[in-house]
Structure 1
Amino acid sequence: MIDQKNKINNKIVPLIFTDFYPSQSHSHEGLCVHEQIPHLPGSENALVLAPSIKYPPFPRYRYVRSHRPESGWQNCEKNVFRIPGYYFPVFGEKFLVKKIIVDSLALLQWRGNDFDIIHANWAYRSGYIASQVSEYLNIPLILTIWGSDIDIWIHEKRKQRYIFQALEKAYKIITQNKSHKEKLLQFGVPNDKIVINPMGIDTQIFTIKHAKKPNKNFTFAIIGNLFRDKGHQEVLQSLSMCNPDIRLVVIGDGPEMLRLVYETASYNLRDRVVFTGAKNPEEIPELLQKSDALIIGSRHEGGPKVLLEALSCGKPVVATKVGFASEIIHPECGKLVEIGDIFAMAKAMDYIAENQWDAQKIRQTALPFDWQNFRLKMEKTYISVLGEHLTCA
Structure 2
Amino acid sequence: MKLALVLPGGVDRTGEYRVIPVFLALIERLARMHEVHVFVLRQEAAAAEWDLVGARIHNIGDGWPRARAIAAIRAEHRRAPFDLVHAIFSGSCGFVAVAAAKLLRLPSLVHIAGGELVALHAIGYGGRQKWKGRLREAVVLRCADIVTAASAPIIDSLQTLGIDAERVPLGVDLQAWPPLEPRRRDAARARLIHVASLNRVKDQSTLLQALALLAKAGLDFEMDIVGVDTLQGEMERLARQLDLERHVRFLGFKTQRELRPIMATVDLLVMSSLHEAGPLVLLEAALAGVPTVGTAVGHIAEWAPLAAWAVPVEDFAALAGAIQQALADEPLRLELAQRAQHRAMLEDADYTVRAFGALYSRLLDKAD
TM tier, smaller: 0.7 to 0.9
- 1:185: how far off? 1.9
Separation in 2 of the partners of 1:104 and 1:377?
A: 24
Aligned equivalent of 1:280, options 255, 259, 272: 255
For 1:110-189, list aligned pairs within 5 A: 112-151=79-118, 152-189=126-163
Which position in structure 2 is the counterpart of 1:16?
Answer: 5
Which position in structure 2 is the counterpart of 1:51?
Answer: 41
8 Å Cα contact 2:185-2:267 kept in structure 1 = no
Separation in 1 of the partners of 2:184 and 2:137?
A: 50
In structure 2, the gaps of 5 or more residues are 119-125
Q: Is 1:306 matched with 2:281?
A: yes
8 Å Cα contact 1:335-1:348 kept in structure 2 = yes
Which position in structure 2 is the counterpart of 1:352?
Answer: 326
Separation in 1 of the partners of 2:29 and 2:141?
A: 23
- 1:137: how far off? 1.3
In structure 1, the gaps of 5 or more residues are 1-11, 53-68, 87-94
Question: What's the secondary structure of 2:233's corresponding residue?
Answer: helix
- With 151-160 and 166-175 compared, the bigger mean Cα shift is at 151-160
Which position in structure 2 is the counterpart of 1:34?
Answer: 24
Q: CA RMSD in A?
A: 2.4
For 1:1-393, list aligned pairs within 5 A: 12-23=1-12, 27-28=17-18, 30-40=20-30, 44-52=34-42, 69-78=43-52, 79-86=56-63, 97-109=66-78, 112-151=79-118, 152-189=126-163, 191=164, 194-203=165-174, 205-208=177-180, 215-242=187-214, 243-256=218-231, 258-331=233-306, 333-356=307-330, 357-358=333-334, 359-390=337-368
- 1:362: how far off? 4.6
C-alpha spacing 1:371/1:70, structure 2 compared with 1 (3 Å):
closer
8 Å Cα contact 1:318-1:334 kept in structure 2 = yes
Q: What CA deviation, in whole Å up to 9, does each residue of 1:237-292 have, x standing for no partner? A: 10000144021100111312501111111111111101111011223322211111
8 Å Cα contact 2:7-2:88 kept in structure 1 = yes
Which position in structure 1 is the counterpart of 2:122?
Answer: none
Question: What's the secondary structure of 1:147's corresponding residue?
Answer: coil
8 Å Cα contact 1:301-1:322 kept in structure 2 = yes
- 1:336: how far off? 1.0
C-alpha spacing 1:115/1:362, structure 2 compared with 1 (3 Å):
closer
- 1:30: how far off? 4.4
What amino acid does structure 1 have at the position aligned with 2:74? L
C-alpha spacing 1:133/1:224, structure 2 compared with 1 (3 Å):
same
8 Å Cα contact 2:153-2:302 kept in structure 1 = no
What amino acid does structure 2 have at the position aligned with 1:80? I
8 Å Cα contact 2:171-2:347 kept in structure 1 = yes
Separation in 1 of the partners of 2:33 and 2:234?
A: 41
Q: How many residues align?
A: 349
- 1:211: how far off? 7.6
Question: What's the secondary structure of 1:40's corresponding residue?
Answer: helix
Q: TM-score if structure 1 supplies the norm length?
A: 0.82
Question: What's the secondary structure of 1:319's corresponding residue?
Answer: strand
C-alpha spacing 1:352/1:51, structure 2 compared with 1 (3 Å):
same
Separation in 2 of the partners of 1:119 and 1:337?
A: 34
- With 226-235 and 69-78 compared, the bigger mean Cα shift is at 69-78
- With 127-136 and 265-274 compared, the bigger mean Cα shift is at 127-136
8 Å Cα contact 1:131-1:170 kept in structure 2 = yes
Separation in 1 of the partners of 2:340 and 2:133?
A: 40
* Structure ID, larger Rg: 1
C-alpha spacing 1:235/1:284, structure 2 compared with 1 (3 Å):
same
8 Å Cα contact 1:23-1:76 kept in structure 2 = no
